[in-house]
Amino acid sequence: MALGNESRHGMWSSRWLFVLAAAGSAVGLGNIWKFPYIVGEHGGGAFVLVYLACILLIGVPIMMSETLLGRAGRESPINTMRKLTTTHNKSRFWVAIGWMGVVAGILILSYYAVIAGWALFYIWRMASGTYEGATPEFAQETFASFQAEPLHMMAWQTLFMILTVYIVGRGVIKGLETAIRWFMPLLFVLLIVLLGYSSQSGGFDEAVTFMFRFNWESLTPQAVLIAMGQAFFTLSLGMGTIMAYGAYLPNNTSIAGTVFTIAALDTLVAIAAGLVIFPIVFANGLATDSGPGLMFVTIPLAFSMLPGGAIFGAVFFLLVSFAAITSAISLTEPALAYLVEEYNAKRRRVSITLGVLCWLLGIGSVLSFNAWSDMPLLGQPTFFALVDHFSQNILLPLGGLLISLFAAYVLPKTVLAEQLGIRSGFGRTIWVLLTGIVAPLSVLLVFISALWPGGFDRLLALVA
Ligand code: PHE
Protein backbone atom coordinates (compact mmCIF):
# COMPACT_ATOMS: atom_id res chain seq x y z
CA MET A 1 0.00 0.00 0.00
CA ALA A 2 1.43 3.36 -0.96
CA LEU A 3 1.55 6.11 1.60
CA GLY A 4 -1.06 8.77 0.90
CA ASN A 5 -0.54 12.31 -0.32
CA GLU A 6 -3.75 13.75 1.05
CA SER A 7 -5.61 13.26 4.30
CA ARG A 8 -9.32 12.59 4.18
CA HIS A 9 -9.83 15.17 6.94
CA GLY A 10 -8.45 18.01 4.83
CA MET A 11 -5.03 19.62 4.40
CA TRP A 12 -3.34 22.78 5.68
CA SER A 13 -3.14 25.19 2.80
CA SER A 14 0.49 26.01 3.54
CA ARG A 15 3.43 25.33 5.80
CA TRP A 16 2.51 28.47 7.75
CA LEU A 17 -0.89 27.15 8.61
CA PHE A 18 0.70 24.13 10.13
CA VAL A 19 3.06 26.40 12.08
CA LEU A 20 0.09 28.47 13.23
CA ALA A 21 -2.02 25.50 14.19
CA ALA A 22 0.81 23.70 15.96
CA ALA A 23 1.85 26.91 17.71
CA GLY A 24 -1.79 27.48 18.63
CA SER A 25 -1.79 24.03 20.17
CA ALA A 26 1.56 24.49 21.90
CA VAL A 27 1.02 27.99 23.28
CA GLY A 28 -1.62 27.74 25.96
CA LEU A 29 -2.17 27.53 29.68
CA GLY A 30 1.04 25.52 29.84
CA ASN A 31 3.07 28.61 28.98
CA ILE A 32 1.26 31.41 30.75
CA TRP A 33 -0.30 29.71 33.76
CA LYS A 34 1.66 26.55 34.43
CA PHE A 35 5.25 27.36 33.54
CA PRO A 36 5.61 30.30 35.99
CA TYR A 37 3.97 28.44 38.86
CA ILE A 38 6.04 25.27 38.56
CA VAL A 39 9.22 27.33 38.15
CA GLY A 40 8.16 29.04 41.37
CA GLU A 41 7.48 25.77 43.16
CA HIS A 42 10.82 24.32 42.12
CA GLY A 43 13.03 27.22 43.03
CA GLY A 44 13.74 28.86 39.66
CA GLY A 45 17.09 28.84 37.83
CA ALA A 46 18.23 25.24 37.69
CA PHE A 47 14.70 24.12 36.88
CA VAL A 48 14.51 26.53 33.94
CA LEU A 49 17.82 25.25 32.60
CA VAL A 50 16.72 21.61 32.75
CA TYR A 51 13.44 22.59 31.09
CA LEU A 52 15.28 24.33 28.23
CA ALA A 53 17.56 21.33 27.78
CA CYS A 54 14.50 19.07 27.60
CA ILE A 55 12.90 21.28 24.93
CA LEU A 56 16.01 21.16 22.78
CA LEU A 57 17.27 17.62 23.29
CA ILE A 58 13.99 15.77 23.75
CA GLY A 59 11.21 18.06 22.53
CA VAL A 60 12.54 19.02 19.12
CA PRO A 61 13.51 15.50 17.95
CA ILE A 62 10.21 14.08 19.20
CA MET A 63 8.20 16.83 17.57
CA MET A 64 9.98 16.05 14.30
CA SER A 65 9.22 12.37 14.73
CA GLU A 66 5.54 13.00 15.42
CA THR A 67 5.20 15.28 12.43
CA LEU A 68 6.87 12.88 10.05
CA LEU A 69 4.91 9.87 11.27
CA GLY A 70 1.69 11.81 10.88
CA ARG A 71 2.58 12.89 7.38
CA ALA A 72 3.68 9.39 6.42
CA GLY A 73 0.37 7.88 7.58
CA ARG A 74 -2.09 10.73 6.94
CA GLU A 75 -4.71 9.36 9.35
CA SER A 76 -5.61 9.78 13.02
CA PRO A 77 -2.67 8.69 15.23
CA ILE A 78 -4.22 5.27 15.94
CA ASN A 79 -4.86 4.55 12.28
CA THR A 80 -1.57 6.11 11.20
CA MET A 81 0.25 3.67 13.45
CA ARG A 82 -1.91 0.79 12.19
CA LYS A 83 -1.18 1.76 8.62
CA LEU A 84 2.56 2.17 9.11
CA THR A 85 2.92 -1.10 11.02
CA THR A 86 0.86 -3.10 8.52
CA THR A 87 2.44 -1.56 5.43
CA HIS A 88 5.95 -2.23 6.65
CA ASN A 89 5.17 -5.46 8.39
CA LYS A 90 6.04 -4.36 11.93
CA SER A 91 4.65 -5.35 15.32
CA ARG A 92 1.17 -4.08 16.18
CA PHE A 93 2.50 -3.16 19.60
CA TRP A 94 3.34 0.33 18.32
CA VAL A 95 -0.35 1.14 17.83
CA ALA A 96 -0.37 1.57 21.63
CA ILE A 97 1.14 5.01 20.96
CA GLY A 98 -2.17 6.09 19.46
CA TRP A 99 -4.32 4.66 22.25
CA MET A 100 -2.22 6.15 25.03
CA GLY A 101 -2.52 9.52 23.33
CA VAL A 102 -6.30 9.33 23.28
CA VAL A 103 -6.37 8.61 27.03
CA ALA A 104 -3.86 11.40 27.78
CA GLY A 105 -5.84 13.89 25.70
CA ILE A 106 -9.07 13.18 27.59
CA LEU A 107 -7.38 13.36 30.99
CA ILE A 108 -5.60 16.63 30.19
CA LEU A 109 -8.65 18.29 28.67
CA SER A 110 -10.69 17.38 31.76
CA TYR A 111 -8.70 19.72 34.02
CA TYR A 112 -7.60 22.10 31.28
CA ALA A 113 -11.22 23.19 30.90
CA VAL A 114 -11.43 23.91 34.62
CA ILE A 115 -8.43 26.25 34.61
CA ALA A 116 -9.48 27.83 31.31
CA GLY A 117 -12.83 28.44 33.00
CA TRP A 118 -11.01 30.49 35.66
CA ALA A 119 -9.51 32.59 32.85
CA LEU A 120 -12.98 33.14 31.35
CA PHE A 121 -14.28 34.27 34.72
CA TYR A 122 -11.35 36.66 35.10
CA ILE A 123 -12.21 38.41 31.81
CA TRP A 124 -15.45 39.37 33.42
CA ARG A 125 -13.93 40.07 36.81
CA MET A 126 -11.30 42.44 35.39
CA ALA A 127 -13.74 44.22 33.10
CA SER A 128 -16.15 44.93 35.94
CA GLY A 129 -13.47 46.91 37.76
CA THR A 130 -13.12 44.56 40.74
CA TYR A 131 -9.42 45.22 41.05
CA GLU A 132 -9.18 48.97 40.82
CA GLY A 133 -6.70 50.04 43.50
CA ALA A 134 -6.45 46.44 44.77
CA THR A 135 -3.92 45.37 47.40
CA PRO A 136 -2.01 42.04 47.23
CA GLU A 137 -4.19 40.73 50.09
CA PHE A 138 -7.35 41.63 48.21
CA ALA A 139 -6.11 39.86 45.05
CA GLN A 140 -5.32 36.74 47.08
CA GLU A 141 -8.58 36.73 49.00
CA THR A 142 -10.80 37.21 45.96
CA PHE A 143 -9.10 34.26 44.27
CA ALA A 144 -9.42 32.09 47.36
CA SER A 145 -13.11 32.86 47.75
CA PHE A 146 -13.73 31.97 44.09
CA GLN A 147 -11.97 28.64 44.57
CA ALA A 148 -14.15 27.87 47.57
CA GLU A 149 -17.28 27.75 45.37
CA PRO A 150 -17.45 24.57 43.28
CA LEU A 151 -20.70 25.45 41.54
CA HIS A 152 -19.38 28.79 40.41
CA MET A 153 -16.26 27.15 39.07
CA MET A 154 -18.31 24.50 37.31
CA ALA A 155 -20.37 27.14 35.55
CA TRP A 156 -17.23 28.53 33.88
CA GLN A 157 -15.81 25.08 33.22
CA THR A 158 -19.08 24.22 31.47
CA LEU A 159 -18.97 27.37 29.37
CA PHE A 160 -15.42 26.63 28.24
CA MET A 161 -16.32 23.04 27.39
CA ILE A 162 -19.34 24.18 25.36
CA LEU A 163 -17.19 26.64 23.41
CA THR A 164 -14.61 23.96 22.68
CA VAL A 165 -17.17 21.38 21.60
CA TYR A 166 -18.86 23.95 19.40
CA ILE A 167 -15.68 24.90 17.53
CA VAL A 168 -14.41 21.34 17.25
CA GLY A 169 -17.78 20.17 15.99
CA ARG A 170 -17.82 22.74 13.22
CA GLY A 171 -14.51 21.56 11.84
CA VAL A 172 -11.25 23.02 12.90
CA ILE A 173 -9.36 24.51 10.04
CA LYS A 174 -11.46 27.49 8.93
CA GLY A 175 -12.62 28.85 12.28
CA LEU A 176 -9.34 28.22 13.98
CA GLU A 177 -7.20 29.68 11.29
CA THR A 178 -8.81 33.10 11.52
CA ALA A 179 -8.77 33.07 15.28
CA ILE A 180 -5.11 32.13 15.52
CA ARG A 181 -4.07 34.61 12.85
CA TRP A 182 -5.43 37.48 14.96
CA PHE A 183 -5.10 36.37 18.50
CA MET A 184 -1.59 34.97 18.61
CA PRO A 185 0.06 38.24 17.49
CA LEU A 186 -2.17 40.16 19.91
CA LEU A 187 -1.10 37.91 22.72
CA PHE A 188 2.52 38.65 21.87
CA VAL A 189 1.89 42.39 21.87
CA LEU A 190 0.14 42.29 25.24
CA LEU A 191 2.90 40.19 26.75
CA ILE A 192 5.40 42.80 25.58
CA VAL A 193 3.31 45.62 27.11
CA LEU A 194 3.18 43.70 30.37
CA LEU A 195 6.92 43.05 30.20
CA GLY A 196 7.40 46.81 29.96
CA TYR A 197 5.27 47.24 33.05
CA SER A 198 6.88 44.51 35.11
CA SER A 199 10.38 45.71 34.22
CA GLN A 200 9.44 48.98 35.92
CA SER A 201 7.79 47.36 38.94
CA GLY A 202 10.92 47.21 41.05
CA GLY A 203 11.16 43.42 41.19
CA PHE A 204 12.62 42.76 37.75
CA ASP A 205 16.25 42.15 38.73
CA GLU A 206 15.22 39.83 41.50
CA ALA A 207 12.97 37.97 39.07
CA VAL A 208 15.73 37.55 36.51
CA THR A 209 18.08 36.26 39.18
CA PHE A 210 15.40 33.91 40.43
CA MET A 211 14.67 32.50 36.97
CA PHE A 212 18.20 32.22 35.66
CA ARG A 213 20.47 31.59 38.63
CA PHE A 214 21.53 27.95 39.03
CA ASN A 215 20.67 26.81 42.50
CA TRP A 216 21.45 23.14 42.21
CA GLU A 217 20.13 22.29 45.69
CA SER A 218 16.57 22.73 44.48
CA LEU A 219 17.03 20.22 41.69
CA THR A 220 15.64 16.91 42.94
CA PRO A 221 15.01 13.94 40.61
CA GLN A 222 11.31 14.74 41.06
CA ALA A 223 11.88 18.29 39.82
CA VAL A 224 13.73 16.97 36.76
CA LEU A 225 10.76 14.72 35.99
CA ILE A 226 8.44 17.70 36.25
CA ALA A 227 10.67 19.82 33.98
CA MET A 228 10.62 17.05 31.39
CA GLY A 229 6.86 16.58 31.73
CA GLN A 230 6.41 20.31 31.25
CA ALA A 231 8.53 20.24 28.07
CA PHE A 232 6.19 17.57 26.66
CA PHE A 233 3.08 19.36 27.85
CA THR A 234 3.99 22.77 26.57
CA LEU A 235 4.96 21.49 23.12
CA SER A 236 1.83 19.29 22.98
CA LEU A 237 4.01 16.21 22.54
CA GLY A 238 3.74 12.52 23.28
CA MET A 239 0.01 12.13 22.77
CA GLY A 240 -0.52 12.35 19.03
CA THR A 241 -1.70 15.95 18.71
CA ILE A 242 1.25 16.93 16.56
CA MET A 243 0.97 13.61 14.73
CA ALA A 244 -2.67 14.36 13.94
CA TYR A 245 -1.77 17.86 12.75
CA GLY A 246 1.22 16.51 10.80
CA ALA A 247 -1.19 14.32 8.85
CA TYR A 248 -2.56 17.47 7.23
CA LEU A 249 0.87 18.88 6.31
CA PRO A 250 1.75 19.23 2.61
CA ASN A 251 4.52 16.97 1.34
CA ASN A 252 6.96 19.60 0.15
CA THR A 253 7.49 21.23 3.55
CA SER A 254 10.73 20.95 5.51
CA ILE A 255 9.93 19.39 8.85
CA ALA A 256 13.08 20.45 10.71
CA GLY A 257 12.76 24.19 10.08
CA THR A 258 9.07 24.17 10.86
CA VAL A 259 9.53 22.36 14.14
CA PHE A 260 12.29 24.71 15.29
CA THR A 261 10.06 27.70 14.66
CA ILE A 262 7.24 26.21 16.73
CA ALA A 263 9.51 25.25 19.62
CA ALA A 264 11.15 28.68 19.65
CA LEU A 265 7.82 30.52 19.66
CA ASP A 266 6.52 28.37 22.48
CA THR A 267 9.66 28.85 24.59
CA LEU A 268 9.64 32.61 24.08
CA VAL A 269 6.07 32.89 25.33
CA ALA A 270 6.82 30.81 28.44
CA ILE A 271 9.92 32.82 29.37
CA ALA A 272 8.06 36.09 28.73
CA ALA A 273 5.22 34.95 30.99
CA GLY A 274 7.73 34.19 33.74
CA LEU A 275 9.35 37.59 33.30
CA VAL A 276 5.95 39.24 33.58
CA ILE A 277 4.75 37.36 36.64
CA PHE A 278 7.83 37.10 38.90
CA PRO A 279 8.70 40.82 39.07
CA ILE A 280 5.16 41.42 40.31
CA VAL A 281 5.58 38.62 42.83
CA PHE A 282 8.79 40.10 44.20
CA ALA A 283 7.67 43.73 44.11
CA ASN A 284 4.60 42.87 46.19
CA GLY A 285 6.17 40.39 48.56
CA LEU A 286 4.02 37.49 47.32
CA ALA A 287 5.12 33.86 47.59
CA THR A 288 6.84 32.36 44.52
CA ASP A 289 5.49 28.92 45.35
CA SER A 290 1.81 29.75 45.60
CA GLY A 291 0.90 27.12 42.99
CA PRO A 292 -1.92 27.10 40.43
CA GLY A 293 -3.33 30.43 41.65
CA LEU A 294 -0.15 32.41 40.85
CA MET A 295 -1.27 33.99 37.57
CA PHE A 296 -4.74 34.77 38.90
CA VAL A 297 -3.29 36.84 41.73
CA THR A 298 -0.31 38.57 40.09
CA ILE A 299 -1.88 39.62 36.79
CA PRO A 300 -4.97 41.33 38.30
CA LEU A 301 -2.63 43.05 40.72
CA ALA A 302 -0.40 44.33 37.93
CA PHE A 303 -3.33 45.64 35.94
CA SER A 304 -4.90 47.27 38.97
CA MET A 305 -2.00 49.70 38.99
CA LEU A 306 -2.03 50.49 35.27
CA PRO A 307 -4.11 53.22 33.66
CA GLY A 308 -7.00 51.55 31.84
CA GLY A 309 -6.14 48.40 33.76
CA ALA A 310 -9.67 47.01 33.83
CA ILE A 311 -9.92 46.91 30.04
CA PHE A 312 -6.36 45.74 29.43
CA GLY A 313 -6.74 43.12 32.11
CA ALA A 314 -9.93 41.84 30.54
CA VAL A 315 -8.22 41.68 27.15
CA PHE A 316 -5.32 39.79 28.70
CA PHE A 317 -7.58 37.07 30.10
CA LEU A 318 -9.49 37.00 26.83
CA LEU A 319 -6.27 36.17 25.03
CA VAL A 320 -5.32 33.56 27.62
CA SER A 321 -8.74 32.00 27.04
CA PHE A 322 -8.12 32.02 23.31
CA ALA A 323 -4.71 30.44 23.71
CA ALA A 324 -6.43 27.83 25.87
CA ILE A 325 -9.14 27.13 23.29
CA THR A 326 -6.68 26.58 20.44
CA SER A 327 -4.92 24.07 22.69
CA ALA A 328 -8.11 22.43 23.94
CA ILE A 329 -9.22 21.82 20.38
CA SER A 330 -5.97 20.11 19.56
CA LEU A 331 -6.32 17.90 22.63
CA THR A 332 -9.44 16.36 21.13
CA GLU A 333 -8.10 15.90 17.60
CA PRO A 334 -6.47 12.43 17.98
CA ALA A 335 -9.61 10.89 19.53
CA LEU A 336 -11.94 12.81 17.28
CA ALA A 337 -10.23 11.96 14.01
CA TYR A 338 -10.09 8.30 15.06
CA LEU A 339 -13.77 8.04 15.92
CA VAL A 340 -14.72 9.82 12.70
CA GLU A 341 -12.60 7.40 10.65
CA GLU A 342 -13.62 4.27 12.50
CA TYR A 343 -17.35 4.76 12.77
CA ASN A 344 -17.87 7.15 9.93
CA ALA A 345 -19.43 9.32 12.62
CA LYS A 346 -20.31 12.98 12.39
CA ARG A 347 -17.71 15.31 13.89
CA ARG A 348 -20.36 17.12 15.88
CA ARG A 349 -21.69 13.97 17.56
CA VAL A 350 -18.24 12.75 18.44
CA SER A 351 -17.21 16.09 19.87
CA ILE A 352 -20.26 16.24 22.12
CA THR A 353 -19.56 12.75 23.46
CA LEU A 354 -15.93 13.58 24.16
CA GLY A 355 -16.93 16.91 25.70
CA VAL A 356 -19.35 15.29 28.14
CA LEU A 357 -16.74 12.72 29.16
CA CYS A 358 -14.11 15.39 29.85
CA TRP A 359 -16.62 17.57 31.64
CA LEU A 360 -17.59 14.76 34.00
CA LEU A 361 -13.97 13.92 34.78
CA GLY A 362 -13.26 17.62 35.25
CA ILE A 363 -15.68 17.82 38.18
CA GLY A 364 -13.07 15.87 40.17
CA SER A 365 -10.60 18.68 39.49
CA VAL A 366 -13.13 21.36 40.43
CA LEU A 367 -13.67 19.66 43.79
CA SER A 368 -9.90 19.31 44.33
CA PHE A 369 -9.77 23.03 45.08
CA ASN A 370 -12.50 22.91 47.74
CA ALA A 371 -14.47 19.88 49.00
CA TRP A 372 -11.74 17.36 48.13
CA SER A 373 -8.74 19.56 48.83
CA ASP A 374 -7.67 17.33 51.72
CA MET A 375 -8.01 14.03 49.93
CA PRO A 376 -4.64 12.63 48.81
CA LEU A 377 -4.78 9.96 46.11
CA LEU A 378 -1.99 7.54 45.16
CA GLY A 379 0.74 9.72 46.59
CA GLN A 380 -0.56 12.96 45.07
CA PRO A 381 -2.18 15.67 47.21
CA THR A 382 -5.47 15.87 45.24
CA PHE A 383 -7.41 14.34 42.36
CA PHE A 384 -6.38 17.27 40.16
CA ALA A 385 -2.72 16.77 41.05
CA LEU A 386 -3.01 13.05 40.30
CA VAL A 387 -4.61 13.47 36.87
CA ASP A 388 -2.10 16.21 36.03
CA HIS A 389 0.89 14.19 37.22
CA PHE A 390 -0.16 10.94 35.57
CA SER A 391 -0.89 12.53 32.19
CA GLN A 392 1.90 15.08 32.00
CA ASN A 393 4.76 13.34 33.79
CA ILE A 394 4.04 9.70 32.88
CA LEU A 395 1.81 9.28 29.82
CA LEU A 396 3.30 12.05 27.66
CA PRO A 397 6.98 11.15 28.20
CA LEU A 398 6.16 7.45 27.75
CA GLY A 399 4.33 8.19 24.50
CA GLY A 400 7.23 10.36 23.37
CA LEU A 401 9.73 7.62 24.18
CA LEU A 402 7.86 5.10 22.03
CA ILE A 403 7.40 7.62 19.22
CA SER A 404 11.11 8.40 19.04
CA LEU A 405 12.10 4.74 19.14
CA PHE A 406 9.65 3.90 16.39
CA ALA A 407 10.80 6.78 14.20
CA ALA A 408 14.48 6.03 14.72
CA TYR A 409 14.61 2.23 14.53
CA VAL A 410 11.38 0.72 13.24
CA LEU A 411 10.28 2.96 10.41
CA PRO A 412 12.12 1.93 7.21
CA LYS A 413 14.99 4.17 6.12
CA THR A 414 13.32 4.88 2.82
CA VAL A 415 10.27 6.46 4.47
CA LEU A 416 12.52 8.46 6.74
CA ALA A 417 14.65 9.72 3.86
CA GLU A 418 11.54 10.67 1.93
CA GLN A 419 9.92 12.51 4.87
CA LEU A 420 12.96 14.34 6.18
CA GLY A 421 14.75 14.79 2.89
CA ILE A 422 17.81 13.07 4.38
CA ARG A 423 20.12 12.09 1.57
CA SER A 424 23.50 11.47 3.17
CA GLY A 425 24.70 8.90 5.67
CA PHE A 426 25.75 11.85 7.79
CA GLY A 427 22.22 13.19 8.00
CA ARG A 428 20.97 9.80 9.04
CA THR A 429 23.63 9.48 11.71
CA ILE A 430 22.59 12.81 13.24
CA TRP A 431 18.98 11.70 13.16
CA VAL A 432 19.64 8.40 14.89
CA LEU A 433 21.90 10.12 17.40
CA LEU A 434 19.24 12.64 18.42
CA THR A 435 16.02 10.68 17.99
CA GLY A 436 17.29 7.17 18.61
CA ILE A 437 19.77 7.84 21.41
CA VAL A 438 19.73 11.27 23.07
CA ALA A 439 15.95 11.74 23.30
CA PRO A 440 14.90 8.23 24.44
CA LEU A 441 17.88 7.82 26.76
CA SER A 442 17.15 11.14 28.46
CA VAL A 443 13.52 10.20 28.97
CA LEU A 444 14.54 6.82 30.39
CA LEU A 445 17.11 8.28 32.75
CA VAL A 446 14.66 10.84 34.09
CA PHE A 447 12.04 8.13 34.59
CA ILE A 448 14.42 5.84 36.42
CA SER A 449 15.77 8.55 38.68
CA ALA A 450 12.36 9.90 39.62
CA LEU A 451 10.17 6.82 39.82
CA TRP A 452 12.52 4.27 41.26
CA PRO A 453 13.51 5.19 44.82
CA GLY A 454 17.28 5.47 44.99
CA GLY A 455 17.39 4.63 41.30
CA PHE A 456 19.64 7.49 40.36
CA ASP A 457 22.34 6.44 42.81
CA ARG A 458 22.17 2.82 41.73
CA LEU A 459 22.45 3.88 38.12
CA LEU A 460 25.55 5.89 38.91
CA ALA A 461 27.04 2.96 40.82
CA LEU A 462 26.51 0.74 37.78
CA VAL A 463 28.34 3.13 35.52
CA ALA A 464 31.15 4.02 37.92
N1 PHE B 1 0.54 22.65 24.86
C2 PHE B 1 -0.64 23.04 25.54
C3 PHE B 1 -0.30 24.14 26.54
O4 PHE B 1 0.83 24.46 26.77
C5 PHE B 1 -1.33 21.89 26.21
C6 PHE B 1 -1.47 20.68 25.36
C7 PHE B 1 -0.86 19.48 25.74
C8 PHE B 1 -2.16 20.72 24.15
C9 PHE B 1 -0.93 18.36 24.94
C10 PHE B 1 -2.26 19.60 23.34
C11 PHE B 1 -1.64 18.42 23.74
O12 PHE B 1 -1.17 24.69 27.14
Please report the atom of ligand 1 found closest to the CA of residue 266. 4
* Closest by Cα among 357, 332, 359 to 347: 332
For a mutational test of ligand 1's pocket, the pick from 330, 332, 390, i.e. the residue with the most ligand atoms closer than 8 A to its C-beta, is 330
In a domain, 5, yes or no: no
- Give residue 234 CA to ligand 1 midpoint distance, Å: 5
Query: What own/partner pairs with CB < 8 Å and gap ≥ 24 does 189-195 have?
Result: 190/312, 190/315, 190/316, 190/319, 191/269, 191/272, 191/273, 191/276, 192/272, 193/312, 194/276, 194/299, 194/302, 194/316, 195/272, 195/275, 195/276
- Give residue 429 CA to ligand 1 midpoint distance, Å: 31
Ligand 1 neighbours, Cβ below 6 Å, are 25-26, 28-31, 108, 233-234, 236, 239, 241, 327, 330-331
Give the C-alpha distances (Å, rounded to integers) separating 405 from 94, 345, 398, 408: 10, 33, 11, 5
State the Cα–Cα distance between residues 397 and 23, nearest whole angstrom: 20
Cβ contacts of residue 361 below 8 Å, gap of 6+?
Answer: 106, 107, 110, 387
Position 438 scores a pLDDT of 93
In a domain, 47, yes or no: yes
> What residue owns the CA closest to ligand 1's atom 11?
236
Q: Are 72 and 249 in contact (CB under 8 A)?
A: no
Give the C-alpha distances (Å, rounded to integers) separating 350 from 334, 338, 346: 12, 10, 6
In a domain, 1, yes or no: no
State the Cα–Cα distance between residues 36 and 287, nearest whole angstrom: 12
In a domain, 3, yes or no: no
In a domain, 191, yes or no: yes
Q: Which residues of the chain have pLDDT under 70?
A: 1-4, 172-176, 455-456, 459-460, 463-464
- Give residue 462 CA to ligand 1 midpoint distance, Å: 37
Domain that holds residue 99: 15-463
pTM: 0.92
The three state secondary structure string of 44-106 is: CHHHHHHHHHHHHHHHHHHHHHHHHHHHHHCCCHHHHHHHHHHHCCCCHHHHHHHHHHHHHHH
Please report the atom of ligand 1 found closest to the CA of residue 396. 9
Give the C-alpha distances (Å, rounded to integers) separating 257 from 15, 249, 340: 10, 14, 31
In a domain, 68, yes or no: yes
- Give residue 394 CA to ligand 1 midpoint distance, Å: 15
Tally of structural domains, the chain: 1
In a domain, 120, yes or no: yes
Please report the atom of ligand 1 found closest to the CA of residue 33. 12
- Give residue 89 CA to ligand 1 midpoint distance, Å: 32
DSSP class of residue 133? T
Position 39 scores a pLDDT of 93
Position 2 scores a pLDDT of 46
For a mutational test of ligand 1's pocket, the pick from 31, 184, 235, 331, i.e. the residue with the most ligand atoms closer than 8 A to its C-beta, is 331
> What residue owns the CA closest to ligand 1's atom 9?
236
Please report the atom of ligand 1 found closest to the CA of residue 233. 7
In a domain, 345, yes or no: yes
Q: Quick one: CA dihedral 232, 386, 148, 110, positive or negative?
A: positive
Position 1 scores a pLDDT of 41
State the Cα–Cα distance between residues 112 and 30, nearest whole angstrom: 9
DSSP class of residue 292? G
Please report the atom of ligand 1 found closest to the CA of residue 30. 4
> Which CATH number do you get for residue 298?
1.20.1740.10
Position 100 scores a pLDDT of 96
Strand-pairing partners, residue 377, are 380
- Give residue 111 CA to ligand 1 midpoint distance, Å: 12
For a mutational test of ligand 1's pocket, the pick from 236, 268, 321, 322, i.e. the residue with the most ligand atoms closer than 8 A to its C-beta, is 236
